[in-house]
Chain A
């Protein structure tokens, strides 16, 4: 529990830091950090439910994309601004590293395993983005005839 809380806090600061690197305005930096923390929460939660890399990457990315889209509507800015820092803690750096190390050690069985895991995670993240962005692009998350996002922030649907 404490370990998870620590990782969530680290994710907040990682996203906040990348927010500065990507030159996000000061007033949106905390939202960027929050995006990272929410994505990490979803990731940890999903990791307890399933061990399928594709499934937890997909849903964690969908959480990040949904958060970014909701904030984009609320703040009237492109979703990309919060999407990039939110998703960075999910990037499969350790899988790529293990693929390389096993390539160097010529343990091709392990190398292929890590390479496959890496590819599946990237595919999961990408598909998660595409699903949410395609849906919101056309409909901006309409729910039962109401603009769900606008409804969330107590705004009238257009």
Chain B
């Protein structure tokens, strides 16, 4: 492999991992461009969507190269994103030898992870507080937390065989709606709507929606439109799941 290939490999892999951990497209494009410039590459061309990155460039001795990767879906991991961002800054300022870049990328991803109980506590703290903001009672908070824990494990279970996100959203929301109805029927929770609103905050693609609109305003219209379409389908799935549970069990709490 020549230097150009090492650099392009690094650039697309860094960009892909940044996108996977939650960076927005504009930021990733900017980072990839800066790295290419810091290695004095010419004719840099970057095309990226949230699922694909294509980078082509020419080295100073006029050798051309192109790299394309499919971005694998991952969970939002902002600490990893911070480390990747730090690596990009380091590479831009120090321009380490191209053959070491792959190793640096692997090292940057080696961050300390929260344990499973800590992440569950995070969900509980977040959703209990949201339930409080929406005006829920202690009983509502308890119900929202129990449903959240159940949904957390169901989502993990559904992600393993890589079940379609739209289907898993519909299923999770149906379960959430059904459980909320039974909790209210059992008089553990008092407000069905508040429990459901709180739980839906865990699943609604709020941040992707804001990022999609941002893409449109920042001249990444193609990605923005595709993302909005995807978010629309995901939201419709959530709505379908909730509607089904209300049609099936809503009568119990009328």
Instruction: List residues of A whose CB falls within 8 A of some B CB.
Output: 6-7, 10-25, 76-78, 80-81, 84, 87-89, 91-94, 96-97, 100-101, 103-104, 122-123, 125-127, 129-130, 133-134, 137
Contacts and interface: CB of A to CB of B under 8 A. Distances in A.
A10 B206 contact: no
Contact of B125 (A17, A76, A122, A125): A17
A89 B217 contact: no
Interface of B: 22-24, 26-27, 30, 75-82, 85-86, 89, 113-114, 118-119, 121-130, 132-134, 193, 196-198, 200-201, 204, 206-207, 209-210, 213-214, 217-218, 235, 239, 242-243, 246-247, 250
B81 A78 contact: yes
A81 B126 contact: no
A96 B127 contact: no
A91 B22 contact: no
Give 5 nearest A-B pairs by CB, closest first. A20-B122, A17-B126, A17-B125, A126-B213, A14-B129
Contact of B213 (A21, A91, A123): A123
Contacts of A21: 76, 119, 122-123, 126
> What secondary structure prevails in chain B residues at the interface with A?
helix
Given A78-B82, A96-B200, A96-B204, 6 more contacts: A6-B132, A17-B127, A21-B76, A25-B79, A104-B246, A122-B213
Nearest to B203: A93
A23 B75 CA distance: 9
Nearest to B18: A78
B214 A133 contact: yes
Contacts of B119: 20-21, 23
B135 to A, nearest CB: 9
Contacts of B243: 100, 103-104
Nearest to B202: A21
Contacts of B207: 84, 87-88
A23 B130 contact: no
B216 to A, nearest CB: 9
Contacts of A127: 213, 217
B210 A100 contact: no
B201 A91 contact: yes
5 contacts: A10-B133, A17-B122, A91-B206, A97-B196, A100-B243
B79 A14 contact: no
A81 to B, nearest CB: 5
Nearest to A99: B239
A12 B89 CA distance: 31
B81 A100 contact: no
Contacts of B80: 23
B76 A84 contact: yes
A10 B209 contact: no
A81 B82 CA distance: 8
Contacts of B24: 80
A84 B211 CA distance: 10
Q: Identify which of B82, B204, B209 gathers the most chain A CB atoms within 10 Å of its CB.
A: B82
A103 B242 CA distance: 12
A18 B133 CA distance: 15
Contacts of A97: 193, 196-197, 200
Contacts of B27: 78, 80
A22 B79 CA distance: 8
A133 B119 CA distance: 29
